[in-house]
Structure 1
C-alpha cells in the first residue's frame, strides 16, 4: 500500500468518526419536540397512571431492604401480642364484668360467704347482695373423692382455693362488707374458720362485719324412727 493511499484512508476514517460522534442538533431538537407533543396529546388518565407508576417505582427504590420471611412473621406476632395486652379487658377470672355497671341490690346488704359443712362433704358459696352466686364449689370439685370429701383437709383446701379465686378476680377490692354464714357441724366448719383467720383470708378478713349460724333446727316434724333394741 502506497503512502498516498494510507493518507487517504486515514482522512476518510477521521471524517467518519467525526460524523458519528458529533450529533446533529436539528435532529435532536426535532426528536425532543416530538416527545413533548406526544405527552401533551396523551389523555389525562394515561398521564395520571404514568405518574402513579413513576411514584410507586420511586417509593420502592427509596424503601429499606426487605427482611427475611421469618423476621416478618416474628414482627407481626410480637405486634399482635402487644396490641392484645394493651387492649385486654379487665374482666375477672370468674367471668364477671365490672361491678359498677351491674345492680348488686341494696347498698346496705353485705356479700355472703356461705359454708355448708356436713359429715360427707363441704360446700362453699359466695354470693352478691342480690343473692347471685359469684363462685360455688365443693370438695369434690378440687379432686377429693368418696369419704375424703368430708375430711378436715379437704375443707381446708377448698376454702383456701375459693379465697384465692376471689383474690385473683379482684373481689377483695369490690367487697366492702361480708357476712360469713356457717351451716352444719361437720369438719369443714372448723377448717373454714381457720382459713379465714389465717394468711389466706388476710384480704377479705377486714371486710367481715357479721358471722351468723344458719344451721337448720327441727321443730316437731316427722316421727323419728323406732330406736334399735339389742338383746
Structure 2
C-alpha cells in the first residue's frame, strides 16, 4: 500500500520525492554488492624497483639473440638462418654458389676430404686366382697367386686353392705390418671364377676379422665386351 502511494507521489511530484530519496556515495554506486572499503596500497619503492628490474631482465632475455662471436652455431648455419629470416649479409648471397662449387669439386675428387684407400684386386680367372694389394697411387705392395702356394697347372683352378690363397694373403698383410698403413681398403673384383666366392668366404670368416673392418667400397671391374672380335667357340667334350 505504501509502495503504491510512493509511486504515485513520485510521478506527480518528482521534485519532492528526490529530496526524500537516500543519496548514495559514488563508491557505493560502483560496488553495490560489497560493503568493504577499497584501500589503494602504495607499493614500496624498493620492491617496485626490483620488480621493474626483473621484468626488464625477462624481456631482454626473451628478445636478445646470441652474438656471432659467442654463438655455438657454425658459420654455415648462421648464413642459412640469415637467409631464412631475410637479414642475411652480402656474404651469404654467395653461399649457394660456394656449395655448388664444393659439390662439383667433391664429384671430381671424391677423396679430397680424407685419405684415399688402398686397393685389393681379386682376379678370379677360371684357371687361376690372383690377389694384388696396391697403394692408393697404384704401386703394388703384395701380389700372389695360387702358383706361389705350390699348385701347378690345372691344380691352380678351383675353390680350395683360392681359399688357401686368400687366407695366406691376409696372414701376410698382418705379418708385414701393413695394417698400420691401411686406413681404408677398396676391393676390386674381376672375373667370375671359383676364386671369387672363395675370397668372399675367407673375408667374412675368422681369417678376415682384421681386414673386413677396413673395407670402405666394393667394386666390380669385370671386362664387358660390346661387339669387338669374335669369341672363341664353346669347348665340347665327347
- Normalised to the residue count of structure 2, the TM-score between the two structures is 0.49
* Pick aligned residue for 2:136 from 116, 124, 129: 129
For 1:141, the equivalent position in structure 2 comes to 148
Match of 1:190 among 197, 203, 225: 197
User: Taking structure 1 as reference, are residues 168 and 214 closer, same or farther at Cα in structure 2, changes over 3 Å only?
Assistant: same
User: C-alpha distance in 1, partners of 2:171/2:233?
Assistant: 47
Q: Distance in 2 between matches of 1:127 and 1:200?
A: 20
Deviation at 1:161, TM superposition (A): 0.5
Could you list the per-position Cα deviations for residues 22-52 of structure 1 after superposition, in whole angstroms to 9, with x for gaps in the alignment? xxxxxxxxxxxxxxxxxxxxxxxxxxxxxxx
CA distance in 1, matches of 2:224, 2:130: 19
What does residue 217 of structure 1 align with? 224
1:199 to 206, 222, 238: 206
Greater helix proportion: 1
- Give CA-to-partner distance per residue, 1:38-97, whole Å, 9 cap, x none: xxxxxxxxxxxxxxxxxxxxxxxxxxxxxxxxxxxxxxxxxxxxxxxxxxxxxxxxxxxx
Summarize the Cα distance change of 1:165–1:218 in structure 2 as closer, same or farther, 3 Å threshold: same
- Deviating beyond 6 angstroms after TM superposition, the runs of 4 or more aligned structure 1 residues are none
Q: 1:225 to 1:136 in 2, by over 3 A?
A: closer
Tell me how far 1:108 sits from its aligned partner: 3.3
Give the match's secondary structure for 1:148. helix
- In 2, the alpha carbon distance for the partners of 1:156 and 1:227 equals 28
* Structure 2 SS opposite 1:176: coil
Name the structure 2 match of 1:177.
184
CA 1:120–1:225 in structure 2 vs 1: closer, same or farther (change >3 Å)?
closer
Q: Residues of 2 paired with 1:214 and 1:142: CA distance?
A: 26
Partner of 2:105: none
Which stretch of structure 1 is more off in the superposition, 106-115 or 175-184?
A: 106-115
Structure 1 unaligned regions, length at least 5: 1-104
Change (3 A) 1:227 1:213: closer
Closer, same or farther in 2 for the Cα pair 1:159/1:223, shift >3 Å? same
For structure 2, the 5+ residue unaligned runs are 1-110
TM-score, length-normalised on structure 1?
0.51
> What's the CA shift string for 1:187-213, capped at 9, x where partnerless?
000000011111111111111001111
**CA RMSD, Structure 1 to Structure 2 (Å):** 2.2
Shift of 1:185: 0.5
SS at match of 2:137: coil
Aligned mates of 1:152, 1:131 — CA distance in 2: 28
CA drift of 1:223 comes to 2.9
Aligned residues: 125
